[in-house]
Amino acid sequence: MTGMSQTIPDSAASAPRRVEDSTVVRMTPARPKQGSILRITVRPAPHRAPDADTSAMVRPRADTVAGGVAWTIPRPDSIKPDSLTLPRPDSLRLPRSDSLRPSRPDSLPALRSDSAAADTSVADSVRGRIIAIRATLFGEPLHFLPADSGTFVAIGGVPVDAPRTVRVPLIIERAGTAADTVPVQLEIARTAYTMEKLAVAPKFGQAPDSALAARIAREQALAADVSRRSHVTPRLWTGAFTPPRESRVTSGFGNGREFNGAVQSRHMGLDLAGAVGAPVLAPDRGVIALVGEFYYAGNAVYIDHGGGLVTAYFHLSAVSVAQGDTVNAGDTIGKVGATGRVTGPHLHWVARYGAVTIDPSTLLELTPARREP
């Protein structure tokens, strides 16, 4: 089944509107930029029972029992005498008598919970209730949770090189009825990035040898595993994100990087000024998922905030937490340093939704998450 949808800007969504036959989807921001976090709010259309199909009140199923056909029988109170359609006697085929065998109890076919059986087993008071909303954005699953006034909310990440438009099919699952597919088109704004020229130690400006390349690959795999596992961690973040340091930005997110005269990478984080030993604070609730000393990142801490969201903190001079610790906003997790590939002391702040790296400053625009009892 395919449903209708309305994609409306955040400013217009605040006005009351009557939702009759369509699902309403709100994007915040209405047109997200490349490399940003995005909140998606869905208000599913009210469930409407389908018209009765009296011609299909008695119909065969694909499975068979004892050489015959298994029939789906309607509830007695739903049968109208003038609407029954029964098979003609000459169309019934019975198994041959010599093919009948008494069946052992443990050999009887299991009952299937197909759509026809589900229709007769779901109570009317439950039928049509939202079970789940499923979708993916840039290859990462979205985790919709119930919010206020019958809405469901999820966040997702927009890559730095995202196209101008992307289609997001929403699958709305309801009890006792077929899933509804709602097509949504997301409009994405371009972000202007610059090129930065930096001077670092010669070893950081050269191509790594095989041993070093293997080390870098192992470290990247550890970080990727944290992002994968964050999708199965329950949401811990509250949405009231605060910066890990109240200081100026020394290098923006997404800018190109030229090290010692050679273009090598894109800056996939936000650099915040700080002297060696200055405290670094957790921006929101989460679990310490990884602590280590890495070639490029130096001393680093990764926080799994749950629901697909991870933040990380690089180049630390000291670490104040251990893997498995739970932290809240404002807890000290380490100190500013100059370890790894750096030009001087600072904090490199990273944010990822799954494998999509985003500008961590956009987390500060999220509003507190509502938790259902």
- Per-residue pLDDT at 347: 98
For the chain, what percentages of helix, strand and coil (3-state, to nearest 5) are there? 15, 35, 50
- Per-residue pLDDT at 208: 80
CA distance 163 to 81: 58
Residues 310 and 162 in one domain: no
Residues 174 and 312 in one domain: no
Domain encompassing residue 174? 5-47+126-187
Token pair recorded at residue 86? 């029964």
Residues 209 and 354 in one domain: yes
The strand pair at 270-273 and 249-251 is best described as antiparallel
Instruction: Specify the number of domains making up the chain.
Output: 3
Do 61 and 71 contact (CB within 8 A), yes or no? yes
Residues 227 and 259 in one domain: yes
Residues 15 and 98 in one domain: no
One digit per residue, the tens of pLDDT, for the chain of length 373 reads 444 444 444 443 333 333 345 899 999 999 999 999 999 999 998 877 655 443 333 333 333 333 333 333 344 444 454 444 445 545 545 445 454 454 444 443 443 434 444 445 556 667 888 999 999 999 999 999 999 888 999 999 999 999 999 999 999 999 988 888 999 999 999 987 765 555 555 555 567 889 999 999 999 999 999 999 999 999 999 999 999 999 999 988 977 655 444 445 678 899 999 999 999 999 999 999 999 999 999 999 999 999 999 999 999 999 999 999 999 999 999 999 999 988 899 999 999 999 999 999 999 998 876 544 3
CA distance 181 to 171: 5
56 within domain boundaries: no
Residues 143 and 262 in one domain: no
The domain boundary, picked from 187, 207, 224, lies at 187
Q: What is the DSSP string of 106-152?
A: GGSPPPP--HHHHHHHS-TTTTT-EEEEE-EETTEE---EE-GGG-E
Do 67 and 95 contact (CB within 8 A), yes or no? yes
Residues 210 and 108 in one domain: no
CATH number for the domain that contains residue 143 = 2.60.40.10
Residue 266 makes CB contacts below 8 A (sequence gap 6+) with 160, 193, 254, 255, 256, 257
Note the pTM of the prediction, 2 decimals.
0.73
214 membership: H or E segment, kind and range: helix 210-230
Token pair recorded at residue 153? 């909310």
Q: Which of 182, 135, 191 is nearest to 164 (CA)?
A: 191
- The residue ranges of DSSP E strands in 163-243, in sequence order, are 165-174, 180-187, 195-198
Peptide bond into 32 cis (omega under 30): no
- Per-residue pLDDT at 300: 98
Q: What's the burial of 54, exposed, middle or buried (CB within 10 Å: 0-12/13-18/19+)?
A: middle
181 within domain boundaries: yes
291 within domain boundaries: yes
Round the CA-based radius of gyration of the chain to a whole number and report it: 28
